[in-house]
Amino acid sequence: MVRDPTASESAPSANEICAALDDPDCREIIRNLEEPMTASELVDQCEIPQSTLYRKLELLTEATLLEESTEIRRDGHHASKYTVAFEEITLSLDDNRDLAVEIDRPARTADERLAELWSEVRKET
């Protein structure tokens, strides 16, 4: 697996990742994300209330388990799409006997990197 060199330096803690994975709604979202989906599509697919779904998407995104990208639409009403951002998660004990986490991520295509950059630009404007 390949790590994204443009990824943020602040990685989530093992506790944040475990908390997200311990949540049944979060696991249901991950299970249903076989391809990029919008929040509206996930509400229908997962049968999770919309307000709950948005909180879970935020939790998963902050834990870097999901990636949010922007789908550019011609009508100007762009939509966020979510994808699973890992292939494998390994938990282990480090030298201090603290829980450590390693996330293997899929290789990113040029289109995915461009979409991520566009999402970051949108957040800044």
pLDDT over threshold 50, residue 88 = yes
The rounded distance, in Å, linking the Cα atoms of 125 and 24 is 34
pLDDT over threshold 90, residue 108 = no
Q: What is the pTM of this model?
A: 0.73
Residues 6+ apart with CB under 8 A from 77: none
pLDDT tens figures, 7-32:
444 688 899 999 999 999 999 999 99
Residue 78 contacts residue 70 (beta carbons within 8 Å): yes
The one-letter amino acid code at 83 reads T
The rounded distance, in Å, linking the Cα atoms of 12 and 62 is 7
The rounded distance, in Å, linking the Cα atoms of 55 and 38 is 14
In a 3-state reduction of DSSP, which class is residue 25? Answer: helix
